[in-house]
Amino acid sequence: MLLLIAGGWFFIRALTSPYKGFEEPKKDVEVRHGLRTSTILRHLQAAGVIRDPYVPLIYMKLVRRNDSLKAGVYEFDKPLSAAQVLEKLIRGDVILRSVTVREGLDRFAVAHLFVAERFGTQQLWDKLTADTELIRDIAPEAKSLEGYLFPDTYKFNPGTPPAVIVKAMVENFRKHFSGEMAYITTGLDVHKTVTLASIVETEAKLPAERPLVAAVYLNRLQRHMLLGADPTVIYALKLAGRWDGNIHKADLQIESPYNTYRFPGLPPGPIANPGIASLRAAAAPASTGYLYFVARHDGSHAFSSTLAEHNKNVEIYQRQWYRDRQQATGTGQQGGTP
């Protein structure tokens, strides 16, 4: 009887005594999918989170046999008893990895962000974002998910499959854009609106200018003028594996339907993933007769309605600016419409 009591006392003490066997202020421990309970407990012991794996394993088999330890990354920053550690893993009290996707990134850059956080490989992301099944009902002519990976801050459990993340991003797009569809005043369909929004996103730096930039391109479309948007050429170069960080004069002749210096109308699809402000601007552009704009090098643009006025602005804000700064680098991109 005494041995039984002593054994019970030892078991309870081993299960409920706080322990911290690591020297760091906090310790992150990843529990991977598919591991046996005994393997997880040995991993926790090696990390200094629990003193030994044997008592917790017995506890799980006898008392919590209907529960399981959930996969994920767990943070430990103070002494915890083995029972508290097990409860934490049973609840799945994990650290979620946060990835912020800013407006204007293309699908390849989005993939790079998630791959850097160990959510799959670039090859897998490229394959998933090339599949249009998730948007076929609203954009049957889409060539990829470009434009539909909604910019936002996402939090996922480590080990989340990229397919789950891609689906969540597209669903986020649907949630945000569904309310904007009723306000489309341009006559463009969803895919063309998103395509226009992606160009606006990559051109406009100031929020107030987004509706103006959208109006310029819509006005050019209506007049059957070439759009002449540098970002579409950049995207064509990326698809061709030729983008080196600068647009060169010869690049404007690239044979690609995304080259709006050569091919009329909108490109066949978005060139980046626009945020809600650019989507709104594309759905309801400003009412203006502007046909041209040129960058002022302070983030703003000079807009004009005639070619003569535009040429004057180009002379002031581009040619003279570059002449005054002959030592500056990166003179390839003009940041405006021709």
pLDDT band, residue 34 (cuts 50/70/90):
confident
Domains detected in the chain: 2-91 (3.30.1490.480), 97-178 (no CATH), 187-324 (no CATH)
pTM value is 0.78
Dihedral class, residue 81 (left if φ above 0, else alpha if ψ from -120 to 50, else beta): beta
The string of pLDDT tens digits covering residues 129-173 is: 999 999 999 999 999 999 999 999 999 987 889 999 999 999 999
Class of residue 35 by CB neighbours under 10 A (exposed 0-12, middle 13-18, buried 19+): middle
**Own/partner long-range contacts of 131-137 (Cβ < 8 Å, ≥24 apart):** 134/166, 134/167, 134/170, 135/170
Tokens of 57: 């394993």
Distances in whole angstroms, Cα of residue 331 to Cα of each of 16, 71, 224, 291, 328: 68, 51, 29, 23, 8
Mean pLDDT for 282-310 is: 94
The string of pLDDT tens digits covering residues 83-134 is: 999 999 999 898 888 899 999 999 999 999 999 988 999 999 999 999 999 9
Predicted confidence at residue 194, as pLDDT, reads 96
Predicted confidence at residue 297, as pLDDT, reads 83
The string of pLDDT tens digits covering residues 38-58 is: 999 999 999 999 999 999 999
The string of pLDDT tens digits covering residues 178-196 is: 876 666 778 899 999 999 9
- If DSSP states are collapsed to H, E and C, what string results for 280-297? HHHHCCCCCCCCEEEECC
Cα(106)–Cα(112) distance, integer angstroms: 10
Q: Are 74 and 93 in contact (CB under 8 A)?
A: yes
Q: What are phi and psi of 54, to 5 degrees?
A: -75, -50
